[in-house]
A = this chain, B = another copy of it.
Amino acid sequence: MPRKSRTSPRREESLTRDRIIDAAVELLDCSGEGGLTFRALSERLATGAGAIYWHIDNKEDLVTAACEAIVARTLETTVEGANPKAAIRALALGVFDAIDAHPWVGSALTRAMGQQPILRIVERIGQQVRQLGGSGDQQWAAASALLHYILGVSGQNAANTQYARTHGLDRSEFLEAMSNTWSQLDPVEYPFARSVTHQLRTHDDRADYLAGIDLILAGIDAHRA
């Protein structure tokens, strides 16, 4: 890795950490997690693997950086809401949509605890939770639950998307097949699963996600009262 960024770059088309990260994001977006290889990256950047390693520590470092790029972009464009709750909803949806559009960010964020992308999200959530009031511990609990719910559910949703993609079917056929399987389960052993096959077929992941956020927000109100 270069000690510091040079004042004047070698040439206009010179290999840069940023150029590498951009190429990595493109590869991840169009070919999924498995699509990011140093071979493919070398080819796209018209260079060798060694040159990339001059700017990048290792693959984990690269994916985290790509992740950071998406998160920064997302938090920039997520507008603030009228009140704290609306702002939290907007933020939650922004993260959900970003991870839905870039599924690899879901699993990458899971592995990047304590690093900058997470820190940024925590801060944004926390600033809104603060305005809801409550003791320091209550604020911690609220922010913690929200963060984990947001990362957890968004990541789960992204994993489902990728699972369907990998196995070559789209969301609706996947849910249709799953619903059919569930409806044929043993009624004694699986009464609940059988009872929700209709919701399984017709539900909206994004709406359910938001409903969960509202559930937590309602819980925060109830606990503070």
Copies in the complex: 2
Nearest B residue to A114, CB-CB? B178
A16 CB within 8 Å of chain B: no
Nearest-CB distance from A57 to chain B (Å)? 13
Interface size class of A (residues with CB under 8 A): 35 or more
Tell me the dominant secondary structure on chain A's binding face: helix
A159 CB within 8 Å of chain B: yes
A192 touches B126 (CB 8 A): yes
A126 touches B196 (CB 8 A): yes
Chain B residues in 8 Å Cβ range of A190: 119, 123
A-B contact pairs, 30 of them (CB 8 A): A111-B163, A113-B156, A114-B174, A114-B178, A114-B181, A119-B185, A119-B193, A122-B193, A125-B192, A126-B192, A126-B195, A127-B192, A130-B192, A136-B199, A137-B199, A139-B195, A140-B196, A140-B208, A141-B212, A142-B215, A143-B196, A144-B203, A144-B211, A148-B156, A148-B212, A149-B152, A152-B155, A155-B155, A214-B219, A221-B222
